[in-house]
Amino acid sequence: MKNILLFLFTVFSVPLVAQSQEHAWVYFTDKADVAISIANPTTILTQRAIDRKNAHNIPIDTRDVPVNETYITTVKNQSGIEVKAKSKWFNCVHVIGSIQDINALSGFTFVDHIDFADTNLNTRIATTDQQQFVDKNLDTQVDFTYGDSANQVEMLHVDYLHENDFTGEGMLVAIMDSGFPQVNTLTAFDRVRNNNDLVGGYNFVDRTDDYDAFTGSSHGTSVFSDMAGFLQDEFVGTAPDASYYLFRTEDVNSETPVEESYWVEAAERADSLGVDVINTSLGYQTYDNPNYSYTPSDMDGNTAFISRGGNIAVEKGILVVTSAGNSGNNSNFPVIGAPADGNVYAVGAVNQDEIYASFSSIGPSADGRIKPDGMAQGALAVIINTNGNTALSNGTSFSSPIMAGAITSFWQANPQRTNLEIMQMVRESSHLYNNPTNQMGYGIPNFQTALDDLLNTVSYEEQTVKVYPNPVSELLHIQKNNLDHLDLKIYNLLGKLVFKAEKVSEEINLASLSSGVYIAKFETENFQKSLKIIKQ
């Protein structure tokens, strides 16, 4: 079920997809010229993307190499097969065709396996690959009058970020949605256009380039406004000076699994462009063909194609923010949808008085992780509509971009921090961090507290920490330069403290930790550094 809510919750009656045509992912065995591509990364990634990965110690690997176009062309040329999308991260294509025609593709030596969206059609036992998830004085410089948007901005103390000149400048954001009509003409987006911060886009649904993203449903326009909109003395988005790509991945005329593939393909493009933050106010639970639909038990972060793609985006260093969903009142499926169940920052909704909105999807995830990750105003949220006026709308569709813009402006204060560090700092600033609930997760962040903590921690060039080997089996060696009395805290990806040591020596035994990915935080009185640790 797509989490699109404008003014009213509306239920549409949609006919079932013809049973003769099925959706499936065809996975390939290999890629072409992998070693050459990785050795020459500018052939597959922009320089900004390479710089972002280098800054955060993110390796360029096989998944960054494009899918073999010869394989795609061969599949396209098969009778009865339509190729709708491709994914380099998963090395696959999304196809539509009859069961017989799709199964016939397994005869090619370059096809590794085929997964049907209708899992009843799969002959292989479904398995899930383990993904590696991988002092400044504050001077008031910006004085916005927030007008109608004041409550949703000030609830998160984003005004404090703006007052200290953190408005998203220099950060790059991608928004995946159902269309962005009037963004190219409305006065509310003059600021982002005149500053050359609307840097491009793509319509993955119709396969048309940049500015055709300005067509489709107006949902994306409203979502975008909560981040980038600006009307003097009337409305201010939470990241009005960030730069944006707008990607149309949602087709509102139907609900099929190909939209998950469009989203993953857009996330891959965002990564190759060096995007820092993704916002997606979409979610998937049920489809027109019920055989493709998910169940609450599938919301484990590793079942839905889009959630697994979101996990890789996070591993690649992107901070993915997504709406939790609008099914809190649905007794059969009240929990968060995909991709909110992944290792992303999922946002639920509260009203203007900071009270849980009953429609907001709840946690935890099916595997017990705390969800949502945070809350922002989503009941009677203020947006800008396609008439260029402020209006009120309901849905986590709007709490998500309000939060995503806040995180973008916050990250601007120290872009050397990793996405995982930033997410953790935002969680720790939230009012329910020590006592999370199923309805509100960690609660409402306080970006004033988070910013003060961020800027009061000084990291000097001559003070460094390095660790090896990484991945580590047991003994982790610690190289520390000019640092005494170094303390260590290790957190899992849920933000839970799992290991603590004071005045660490040059090696530490991590045999007690389970296999997985962790954040190791090293700190002294005036130094702090976090590193990603992979435990084998």
Lowest-confidence pick of 113-117, 125-129, 259-263, 316-320: 125-129
Per-residue pLDDT of 175-208, as tens digits, reads 999 999 999 999 999 999 999 899 999 999 999 8
Count Cα atoms within 13 angstroms, Cβ side, for 59: 10
List the catalytic residue out of 115, 118, 219, 429: 219
Whether 477 is catalytic: no
Q: In the chain, what's the furthest Cα-to-Cα distance?
A: 68
Whether 431 is catalytic: no
CB 346 within 8 A of CB 352: no
Model confidence at 533, in pLDDT bands (50, 70, 90)? confident
Which pTM was predicted?
Answer: 0.81
How high is the pLDDT of residue 459? 45
> Residue 248's closest CA among 275, 224, 214?
214
How high is the pLDDT of residue 463? 56
How high is the pLDDT of residue 70? 97
Question: How far is Cα 218 from Cα 221, in angstroms, rounded to an integer?
Answer: 5
Q: Residue 40: is its pLDDT beyond 50?
A: yes
List the catalytic residue out of 118, 177, 241, 300: 177
Cis preceding-peptide flag for 469 (omega within 30 of 0): yes
Q: Residue 262: is its pLDDT beyond 90?
A: yes
How high is the pLDDT of residue 264? 98
How high is the pLDDT of residue 1? 42
List the catalytic residue out of 397, 400, 409, 429: 397
How high is the pLDDT of residue 61? 93
Per the prediction, the chain carries an average pLDDT of 89
Question: How far is Cα 66 from Cα 40, in angstroms, rounded to an integer?
Answer: 13
Q: Residue 212: is its pLDDT beyond 80?
A: no
Whether 13 is catalytic: no
Q: Which residues contact 261 (CB under 8 A, 6 or more apart)?
A: 25, 84, 85, 86, 87, 94, 305
Q: Residue 31: is its pLDDT beyond 60?
A: yes
Q: Residue 221: is its pLDDT beyond 60?
A: yes
Coil, strand, or helix at residue 106?
helix
Per-residue pLDDT of 98-143, as tens digits, reads 999 999 999 999 999 999 999 999 875 443 333 322 232 333 345 7
Domains and CATH numbers, the chain: 1-456 (3.40.50.200), 464-535 (2.60.40.3080)
Per-residue pLDDT of 445-461, as tens digits, reads 999 999 998 887 644 44
Model confidence at 14, in pLDDT bands (50, 70, 90)? very low
Percent of all residues in the chain with a pLDDT value above 70, rounded to a whole number: 90
